Chains A and B, each alone.
Chain A
Amino acid sequence: MTPQKTALAQGFIRCHDCGCLSKQAEQNNHCPLCGGRLHPRLPNSFQRTAALLLSAFFLYIPANIFPIMTYTRLGVGEPHTIIGGIIALIQGDMVPVAILVLIASILVPLLKLLGIGLLLLNVHYRWQAHAKKWTMMYRIIAFVGRWSMLDIFMISILVSLVDMEGVAKVIAGPAATAFAAVVVLTMFAAKTFDPRLLWDKQG
C-alpha cells in the first residue's frame, strides 16, 4: 500500500449522496450538485452505531428465547422458536432449506452483531493493521444484512396461507417483532458506520 493523502487532507469533501467532490473552503454545508448536506465524515458515526448495536444486541435475546410463531393443529398449539423451526426442518429431511434458514436467521445476525462490534473496537482503539481487510468485512456486513429478513417474510406468508379455522393456523409470536427490530437496527448500524474511520488513523 502506498500512503496517499486522503481527499479530506487535501481539503475536499465528498457528498454522501451523489459523490460530488467539493472544496472545503467554498462549501456552505450543502453540496453544489445535489443540495445534500456535506459532512467530512458521517456525523457522530461512532456513537450512533454503538447505540444501535447495543439495542440490537439486547433485542437479540428475546428474539431467540420467545416463540417466533405458533402452529395450531386441530386445536393443539405448538410454539416454535427460531431454532425450533430449523430443527423441525432437519427432522423433515429438508436439510438444505434448514441450512439456508440457519444462515439467514442465526449466523448472519450473530456475525453482524460481532462484526460491527469489532469494527467499533477497531476505530476506538486505533488498531492500525489490516485496514483493507476490515473494510472488506464492513462491505460483507453491509451487503448481507438484509437477507435476515427471510424469516420475517416467511412468517408473513405462512400466516396468510395457513389460516383454516379449527384445522390448522399459524400465529406470529412475540419474537417476530424482536427479530425484525434486530434486523432493522443492525442495518441502520451498518449504514451509520463510516468505513473511512478505519483509514483515518493510518500512518
Chain B
Amino acid sequence: MFPANLMPLIGIKVLGTTKDGTLWSGVVMLVEEHMWGVAVLVFFSSILFPLLNIILSLLISSHLYFNRPNRHLAQWMRWLQHIDEWAMLEIYMLGIIVAGVKLASMAELHFSLGLYAFVALLIVTGMLASSLDKTLFWRHIGRLRQ
C-alpha cells in the first residue's frame, strides 16, 4: 500500500517534462501527415493511458489509505484494470532504442534530460504495477462499501 501511495507522485512530475518533448511531437507529426489512426493509437498508449494509470492508482490508493468510501471506487478500479494492458511505455522505450540505432549511422545523437526522466518514469510505473495488489485493493473496496 505505502509504495503504491508514494510512487505516482514522482511519475506525474516526470511525465510533464517528457510530454512536450518527443512523446508529443511524434503524435503531432503523424497528425500532420494525416495518419490519424496511428497518431491516436500512439497518443493513447504512450501518453493518455500511462497518465490515467497513474491518476487512477493515486485516486484509489489515497481513498483506501484514508479509509474514505466513494461510490466510484469500484468503477475506477475496473477502468484501471482495463487500461493496464494498453499503457505501453516499456515498448516505447524499445522503440526509442531501435530508432536510435537506425539513426546513429547518419546523424549525431544526443540524449536530453527528457529521456532520463522517461526512463525514471518507466521504472516507477513498473514498480507501481508490481506493488499494486489487486486482490488486496478489491478486498479494501468491498470493506469500505459496507
B-contacting residues of A (Cβ < 8 Å)?
17-20, 33-36, 89, 92, 94, 97, 100-101, 104, 146-147, 149-163, 168, 171-172, 176-177, 180-181, 184, 187, 191
A-contacting residues of B (Cβ < 8 Å)?
22, 25-30, 33, 35, 37-39, 41-42, 45-46, 74-75, 77-78, 81, 85-86, 88, 91-92, 94-99, 101-103, 105-107, 134-135, 138, 141-142, 145
B88 contacts which of A149, A158, A161 (Cβ < 8 Å)?
Answer: A149
A152-B38, A161-B22 given; A94·B101 CB < 8 A: yes
A34-B141, A180-B37 given; A153·B29 CB < 8 A: no
19 residue pairs bridging A and B, Cβ less than 8 Å apart: A18-B134, A18-B138, A146-B86, A146-B88, A147-B91, A147-B94, A150-B95, A152-B38, A155-B38, A156-B30, A156-B42, A157-B99, A158-B99, A160-B28, A172-B33, A172-B35, A172-B38, A180-B37, A191-B85
Q: Determine the chain B residues whose CB is within 8 A of the CB of A146 once the complex forms.
A: 85-86, 88, 91
**A156 B37 Cβ-Cβ under 8 A:** no
**A187 B85 Cβ-Cβ under 8 A:** yes
**A161 B103 Cβ-Cβ under 8 A:** yes
User: Given A36-B78, A180-B38, 6 more contacts at CB 8 Å?
Assistant: A33-B141, A146-B88, A153-B46, A158-B99, A180-B37, A180-B41
- In the bound assembly, the distance between CA atoms of A176 and B37 in angstroms comes to 9
Smallest CB-CB separation from B137: which chain A residue? A18
Q: Determine the chain B residues whose CB is within 8 A of the CB of A181 once the complex forms.
A: 37
Q: Determine the chain B residues whose CB is within 8 A of the CB of A36 once the complex forms.
A: 74, 78
**B98 A150 Cβ-Cβ under 8 A:** yes
**A33 B138 Cβ-Cβ under 8 A:** yes
A36-B78, A160-B22, A177-B35 given; A20·B138 CB < 8 A: yes
B41 contacts which of A19, A161, A184 (Cβ < 8 Å)?
Answer: A184
Q: Determine the chain A residues whose CB is within 8 A of the CB of B97 once the complex forms.
A: 97
Q: Determine the chain A residues whose CB is within 8 A of the CB of B42 once the complex forms.
A: 152-153, 156
B94 contacts which of A100, A159, A161 (Cβ < 8 Å)?
Answer: A100
